């Protein structure tokens, strides 16, 4: 092979270089094989359905977070929002309100919290990190003081139809998995086939250019955070349907970091404007499998936190290396 031919081959390889999401899927497959061979109990039908159910709920929440991160934001209040909204919806159901009405009011509350976050970020211009951290603490405190003083609310008996959403259909496929697939397809169509979806990418890629081109970036920010809360609320409803309760302490757990880990590891860049639904699915598969394996191995919480923290640091470092923040990014408040 001549030098010219070798150069052409190198250029062709560069054209077909796999992206981060594809690499993550490959790592997931390798990890699946290793765990199936080396970890007793992992490769079983019962654990498979448990894994799929857990992955689905985590994936739904990550889909909502991805919308905000693509728009160059972050929402640390997502778990608190879904927990509070779902807990209030369950309280209304127990009080005798029709289930569809109660769930609808819970959804409206979640969207209202998300839009309020977007308003504070885009209009008052408080940084997203501090806005969502403060709002999450605020709504959690108010809910505990006025609605759920004991951290948890149980769904009263007699709501079999609602509980079916947490069950399985014929063949054992968990309903949350079908909901995750539906949310993924709808979000993919929204981001890739609608004008608003393209605006979100443009907003995350360069907020100043998007504003100068005539985009209403403030309402767009409110839309991003509203979608994040709404999609997260769906995950909260799936939690209630699967366990018959909502425990507000989930808002104080490390679940929010699991969600961010899924999003960043899959290839949704923290600098905004990059990533898609496939990125979220890839990250969900890997992190869901990792969490399931650590549970089977009965690792203590401290060890799990160390592993997840290390993986998150690696993912953020990789994101910073692949998508460095330049001077223009710094001028936009990053």
**Local mean pLDDT, 10-residue blocks, the chain (334 residues):** 46 59 86 85 79 89 96 95 95 90 95 97 94 96 89 80 66 84 96 94 90 91 97 94 89 89 88 89 89 84 85 78 56 42
Bridge-based pairing of strands 152-154 and 245-247 is antiparallel
> According to the model, what pLDDT value does residue 6 have?
45
Q: Measure the CA–CA gap between 47 and 316, rounded to whole angstroms.
A: 30
> According to the model, what pLDDT value does residue 170 have?
59
> According to the model, what pLDDT value does residue 37 have?
87
On the CB side of 41, how many CA atoms lie within 13 Å of its CA?
Answer: 8
For the record, the structure tokens of 131 come out as 């806005």
Q: Measure the CA–CA gap between 273 and 198, rounded to whole angstroms.
A: 9
Residue bearing tokens 């993550």: 24
Residues 179/56, Cβ–Cβ less than 8 Å: yes
Instruction: List phi, psi (to 5°) of 275.
Output: 110, 165
Terminal Cα distance for the chain, rounded: 48
> According to the model, what pLDDT value does residue 17 have?
61
Q: Measure the CA–CA gap between 217 and 210, rounded to whole angstroms.
A: 7
> According to the model, what pLDDT value does residue 235 have?
94
Q: How would you label 93-116 residue by residue, b for 16+ Cβ within 10 Å and e otherwise?
A: bbeeeeeeebbeebbebbbebbbb
> According to the model, what pLDDT value does residue 171 have?
64
pTM over 0.85, yes/no = yes
Q: Measure the CA–CA gap between 15 and 29, rounded to whole angstroms.
A: 24
Q: Measure the CA–CA gap between 187 and 16, rounded to whole angstroms.
A: 26
């Amino acid at each position: 092979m001549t030098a010219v031919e070798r150069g052409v081959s190198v250029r062709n390889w560069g054209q077909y270089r796999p992206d981060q999401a594809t690499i993550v899927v490959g790592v997931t497959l390798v990890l699946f094989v290793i765990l199936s061979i080396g970890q007793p109990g992992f490769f079983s039908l019962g654990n498979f359905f448990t894994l799929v159910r857990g992955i689905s709920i985590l994936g739904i929440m990550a889909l909502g977070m991805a919308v905000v991160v693509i728009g160059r934001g972050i929402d640390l209040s997502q778990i608190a929002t879904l927990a509070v909204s779902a807990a209030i919806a369950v309280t209304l159901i127990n009080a005798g309100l029709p289930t569809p009405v109660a769930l609808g009011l819970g959804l409206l509350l979640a969207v209202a919290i998300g839009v309020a976050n977007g308003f504070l970020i885009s209009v008052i211009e408080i940084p997203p990190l501090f806005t969502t951290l403060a709002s999450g603490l605020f709504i959690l405190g108010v809910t505990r003081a006025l609605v759920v003083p004991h951290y948890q609310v149980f769904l009263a008996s007699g709501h079999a139809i609602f509980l079916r959403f947490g069950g399985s259909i014929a063949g054992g496929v968990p309903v949350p998995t079908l909901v995750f697939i539906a949310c993924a397809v709808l979000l993919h169509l929204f981001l890739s086939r609608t004008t608003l979806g393209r605006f979100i990418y443009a907003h995350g890629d360069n907020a100043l250019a998007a504003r100068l081109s005539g985009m209403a970036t403030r309402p767009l920010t409110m839309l991003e955070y509203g979608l994040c809360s709404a999609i997260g609320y769906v995950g909260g409803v799936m939690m209630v349907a699967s366990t018959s309760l909502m425990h507000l302490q989930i808002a104080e757990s490390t679940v929010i970091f699991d969600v961010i880990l899924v999003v960043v590891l899959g290839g949704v860049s923290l600098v905004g404007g990059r990533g898609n639904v496939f990125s979220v699915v890839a990250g969900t598969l890997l992190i869901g499998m990792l969490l399931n394996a650590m549970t089977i191995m009965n690792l203590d919480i401290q060890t799990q936190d160390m592993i997840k923290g290390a993986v998150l640091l690696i993912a953020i470092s990789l994101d910073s290396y692949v998508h460095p923040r330049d001077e223009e990014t710094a001028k936009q408040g990053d």
